[in-house]
């Protein structure tokens, strides 16, 4: 009975780690998107630069989330970073699906975004 309680508490702690890391990722996303919006307004950036900026935001945001998850977990940091990258991507996909009632990007673009999110999270976890 006690062993089951300890396992449940461990799972709750890990869930809180994940939520904290995801919250940090989305906080960084919000700030960087505001900065990108400001740059778009000030300099009239073209579509290619905006797309590149969004990709950089994905990587930096998941890197921060992976870093936070790695610091909290202290073991298997890169796996925690990968998990944060996957969850970040899935949440992006769900938000996109909810707003546009479908997925507007091509398969290659979705795959690239998935790889960027996982890679950013993994590197963040590794450097933590």
pLDDT tens sequence for the chain (128 residues): 555 555 566 788 889 989 999 999 999 999 999 999 999 999 998 999 999 999 999 999 999 999 999 999 888 899 999 999 999 999 999 988 888 777 777 889 999 999 999 999 999 999 98
DSSP letter (8 states) at residue 74 = -
d(CA 73, CA 20): 12
d(CA 54, CA 59): 9
The predicted pLDDT at position 7 comes to 59
pTM for the complete prediction? Answer: 0.88
């Amino acid at each position: 009975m006690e062993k089951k309680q300890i396992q449940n508490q461990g799972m709750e702690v890990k869930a809180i780690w994940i939520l904290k890391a995801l919250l940090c990722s989305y906080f960084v996303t919000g700030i960087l998107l505001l900065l990108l919006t400001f740059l778009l307004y000030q300099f009239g950036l073209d579509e290619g630069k905006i797309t590149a900026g969004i990709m950089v935001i994905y990587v930096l945001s998941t890197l921060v989330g992976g870093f936070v998850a790695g610091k909290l977990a202290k073991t298997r940091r890169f796996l925690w970073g990968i998990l944060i990258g996957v969850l970040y991507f899935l949440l992006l996909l769900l938000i996109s699906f909810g707003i546009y009632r479908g997925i507007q990007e091509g398969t290659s673009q979705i795959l690239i975004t998935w790889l960027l999110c996982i890679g950013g999270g993994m590197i963040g976890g590794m450097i933590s």
